[in-house]
Chains A and B, each alone.
Chain A
Amino acid sequence: MIRVESLGKLYRIGPRKIHTTLRDTIAINFDNFTQRRYKKSHNLEGADAEHIWALKDVSFEVKKGEVVGIIGRNGAGKSTLLKILSRITPPTEGYVHLYGRVGSLLEVGTGFQSELTGRENIYLNGIFLGMKKSEIGRKFDEIVAFSEIERFIDTPIKHYSSGMYVRLAFAVAAHLEPEILIVDEVLAVGDTAFQKKCLERVEAMAKEGRTVLLVSHNMASILQLSSNVMLLDRGRVVKFGEKRSVVSAYLSNNNVVTGEAELDDSNARGKAKFTKIYVRDEAGEASKDIAYENPFYIVVEYEVRAKVDRLFVGLMVSNIENVAVFHTDAYDMTDGRYGIQGEIGHHRASVRIPGALLSPGKYYVSEIGLWSPDFIHHHLLTGSLMSFEITSSHIKPSGSLVLRPKWEWFSE
């Protein structure tokens, strides 16, 4: 069980730079001294231009065996909450009671040492995550089997592909067996099959009665795994309860960038990464609302950092109920080329979605991927990446209907 009571965390964002030098501190401390006196006398202590409450008045309870998903925009306080629960940083106010052994997973592969072998890293990473040596020894074979890299277990991991690295890292994490598990956005790793395996693993842990707190941008996995969902916004709990209502509140509340989104793809390890995704109408105008009858384009901008001979792009569109509506990819290119631009530089790829197909309502791009045909290079970005709306003056949005195509009818 987890009990959190009026938790708050104040961060300084003011003039104090992250890596201060002594000289700065002396100067700043002098400023602070004078300012503090000013503030004290004017009763201005607390949040101001230099400070920000990353969390404020956060109270909630999670029962044993419950899986709670935590969602919210970047900067909503999700990571700060997990950091406090993991005891990495102390709160400024309030308290937390955690009943049971806590395991937290804020990153996969924490402390991995590229010079060491897979076997050595399993032990190292396991210890960092709070396992005992004997426990790792006992589970070692299982971990190796889960990672599917038996053949390379005695190879230094600097020779691993990014996929192998992630598999090994997650395999260790998946064998963590605390009573309370705290997981930050780490499930969106690896290829689809491996992701599925990871999701199943978290589900199994919940079935065993473990309490799980899970942060994710991927609404599909949040809905699949959690029993209840908490929505954070600017450091406060906005909504906490039945998962579907919270997720749709989040998605419809303009929380997902509409029409055009800069993609924060800084975690990309491979040769190419995404930079931007947006919707254009036939005239090439940016637009977040598309008239039902009109065709439109979904445009993906990406950056190639090292030349790839053949590159493909694909995307998935879902509705706000989180039903995957369609998947489309550049295997279907019609201009005679096989693959999209793979030269170094910034490129654009777009797909034309015919008009009169999607039922009026809100949709979002839930997945985009880049890959080479042999899958040696592949990169996937998931989450509620960008949303758009199909509008119509004469067709009423009808519940969960997804397609409203205009097809030919005959009468004989």
Chain B
Amino acid sequence: MKKMAGVTIIKPLHGWLPINIGELWDYRQLLFFLIWRDIKVRYKQTVLGVAWAIIQPIFMMVIFSLFFGRFVDVPSEGLPYPLFSYAGLLPWMLFTEGVSRSTNSMISDANLIKKVYFPRLIMPLAGIMSPLIDFLFSFLVFLGLMFCFGFMPTFRIFLLVGFLGLALAAALAVGLWFSALNVQYRDVRYLLPFLIQFWFFASPVVYSTASLPKSWQLFYSLNPMVGVIEGFRWALLGTEPPNMSVFASIAIVALVLVSGIFYFRRMEKNFADII
């Protein structure tokens, strides 16, 4: 389908389709409203409301600090363990929320898919972007925590934007594959929580990369969240700057993202028929 001079042409679609940026831009208001709706609806009929956005990471930080920081005494690169783990949790929660929301976006809005037309890419996009609000709140809490522990943010904090972008891109890359697969194979729904749990232990949220054996490091850095989390700690707390693993992360994310877009575009035309 193409738009030219007010004519819409509808014809059979075959094979691999390129991404239509112009059309996505035309639908930016829809994207905005989907995000707005997610945020509006999420904490409706809860007593604590938006407070949940900060309760979750704080609780996890407390539990981690107690178990890993105190009882097990996991090394935290010389940082207070609560700060260390919270800095890892920030991008981690953004990533997992984004992945699970974009994966389920098609199914939870199946009716929209069946009744109105829009570029389906909008759905997983909204899925990764709506957790940004939660992120913002928990980030403010983190800043407060930094002051409590006597840490001052440096100019490096501006580099956070880059790592934030990488985390979102990683979430979108995974979300695109999974949301398209989820339309056809509901197995994804059962696979996802399990995968995220595995991924959590494969990412340096509760421990530091330095504590891994050297021979594992290369293999380990294939996980793009390694670069993201290390980047967050470096930009916020001034730990060791992330090494070449960041470039590995970027390359992996780019690969999964581009293939994800193509896979999604190939499958999306039939979403309404099989969802």
Instruction: Report which A residues bind B (CB closer than 8 A).
Output: 11, 18-22, 25, 83-102, 104, 106-107, 110-111, 113, 115-116, 120, 123-124, 127-130, 132-133, 156
B46 to chain A, nearest CB (A): 11
Instruction: Identify A97's interface contact among B9, B44, B116, CB under 8 A.
Output: B9
A123 touches B33 (CB 8 A): yes
CA distance A133 to B36 in the complex (A): 13
Q: What sequence of 0s and 1s flags, for each residue 110-147 of chain B, a beta carbon within 8 Å of any chain A beta carbon? A: 01111111100000000000000000000000000000
CA distance A106 to B44 in the complex (A): 29
B30 touches A21 (CB 8 A): no
- The chain B residue sitting closest to A156, CB to CB, is B44
Would you call B184 an interface residue if the criterion is a C-beta within 8 Å of the partner chain's C-beta atoms? yes
A93 touches B9 (CB 8 A): no
B contact face: mostly helix, strand, loop, or mixed: mixed
A163 to chain B, nearest CB (A): 21
10 nearest CB pairs, A to B = A96-B10, A98-B8, A87-B117, A95-B11, A115-B44, A90-B13, A127-B33, A88-B272, A110-B115, A107-B115
- The chain B residue sitting closest to A131, CB to CB, is B29
CA distance A102 to B186 in the complex (A): 33
B29 touches A21 (CB 8 A): no
- The chain A residue sitting closest to B8, CB to CB, is A98
B251 to chain A, nearest CB (A): 29
Find chain A residues with CB under 8 A from B117 CB.
86-88, 104
Find chain B residues with CB under 8 A from A96 CB.
8-11
Would you call B48 an interface residue if the criterion is a C-beta within 8 Å of the partner chain's C-beta atoms? no
A84 to chain B, nearest CB (A): 6
A250 to chain B, nearest CB (A): 26
- The chain B residue sitting closest to A17, CB to CB, is B274
A128 touches B7 (CB 8 A): no
B272 touches A89 (CB 8 A): yes
CA distance A288 to B184 in the complex (A): 46
Further 10 A-B residue pairs, CB within 8 A, beyond A19-B184, A91-B11, A132-B29: A86-B116, A87-B1, A87-B117, A93-B12, A97-B8, A98-B10, A106-B116, A110-B112, A113-B37, A127-B29
Count of interface residues, chain B, beta-carbon cutoff 8 Å: 35
Find chain B residues with CB under 8 A from A132 CB.
29
Instruction: Identify A90's interface contact among B10, B33, B111, B114, CB under 8 A.
Output: B10
A99 touches B7 (CB 8 A): yes
Instruction: Report which B residues bind A (CB closer than 8 A).
Output: 1, 6-13, 29-30, 33, 37, 40-41, 44-45, 109, 111-118, 184-187, 269-270, 272-274
Instruction: Identify A21's interface contact among B13, B37, B187, CB under 8 A.
Output: B187
B40 touches A120 (CB 8 A): yes
B186 touches A116 (CB 8 A): no
CA distance A250 to B152 in the complex (A): 79
CA distance A289 to B245 in the complex (A): 83
A116 touches B10 (CB 8 A): no
- Please, could you name 24 A-B residue pairs with CB atoms under 8 Å apart, sorted by A? A21-B185, A21-B187, A25-B184, A86-B116, A87-B1, A88-B116, A89-B270, A89-B272, A89-B273, A95-B9, A96-B9, A97-B10, A98-B8, A106-B115, A110-B112, A110-B116, A111-B109, A113-B37, A116-B37, A128-B116, A129-B116, A130-B116, A132-B29, A133-B33
CA distance A167 to B139 in the complex (A): 43
Find chain B residues with CB under 8 A from A110 CB.
111-112, 115-116
Q: Assuming the A-B contacts A95-B10, A115-B41, A128-B112, are A25 and B29 also in contact, with contact meaning beta carbons closer than 8 angstroms in the complex?
A: no
CA distance A129 to B115 in the complex (A): 9
Find chain A residues with CB under 8 A from B10 CB.
84-85, 87, 90-91, 95-98
B12 to chain A, nearest CB (A): 5
Instruction: Identify B45's interface contact among A93, A107, A115, A124, CB under 8 A.
Output: A115
- The chain B residue sitting closest to A126, CB to CB, is B33
B40 touches A116 (CB 8 A): yes
A131 to chain B, nearest CB (A): 9
Find chain B residues with CB under 8 A from A89 CB.
269-270, 272-273
A19 touches B114 (CB 8 A): no
A27 to chain B, nearest CB (A): 13
- The chain B residue sitting closest to A98, CB to CB, is B8
Instruction: Identify B12's interface contact among A18, A92, A98, A113, CB under 8 A.
Output: A92
A103 to chain B, nearest CB (A): 10
- The chain B residue sitting closest to A85, CB to CB, is B10
A372 to chain B, nearest CB (A): 29
A87 touches B37 (CB 8 A): no
A25 touches B112 (CB 8 A): no
A98 touches B7 (CB 8 A): yes
Instruction: Identify A22's interface contact among B12, B40, B41, B185, CB under 8 A.
Output: B185
Instruction: Identify B115's interface contact among A18, A88, A102, A124, CB under 8 A.
Output: A88
Q: Assuming the A-B contacts A90-B10, A95-B10, A101-B6, are A124 and B1 also in contact, with contact meaning beta carbons closer than 8 angstroms in the complex?
A: no
B185 touches A25 (CB 8 A): yes
CA distance A107 to B109 in the complex (A): 14
A83 touches B40 (CB 8 A): no
Find chain A residues with CB under 8 A from B109 CB.
111
B6 touches A99 (CB 8 A): yes
CA distance A110 to B116 in the complex (A): 8
Q: Assuming the A-B contacts A11-B273, A100-B6, A102-B8, are A111 and B29 also in contact, with contact meaning beta carbons closer than 8 angstroms in the complex?
A: no
CA distance A96 to B10 in the complex (A): 5
B185 touches A20 (CB 8 A): yes
- The chain A residue sitting closest to B5, CB to CB, is A99
A111 touches B111 (CB 8 A): yes
CA distance A215 to B11 in the complex (A): 22
B30 touches A128 (CB 8 A): yes
CA distance A55 to B82 in the complex (A): 63
B112 to chain A, nearest CB (A): 5
Q: Assuming the A-B contacts A110-B112, A127-B30, A128-B30, are A87 and B40 also in contact, with contact meaning beta carbons closer than 8 angstroms in the complex?
A: no
Find chain A residues with CB under 8 A from B41 CB.
113, 115-116
B159 to chain A, nearest CB (A): 34
B87 to chain A, nearest CB (A): 34
Find chain B residues with CB under 8 A from A98 CB.
7-10
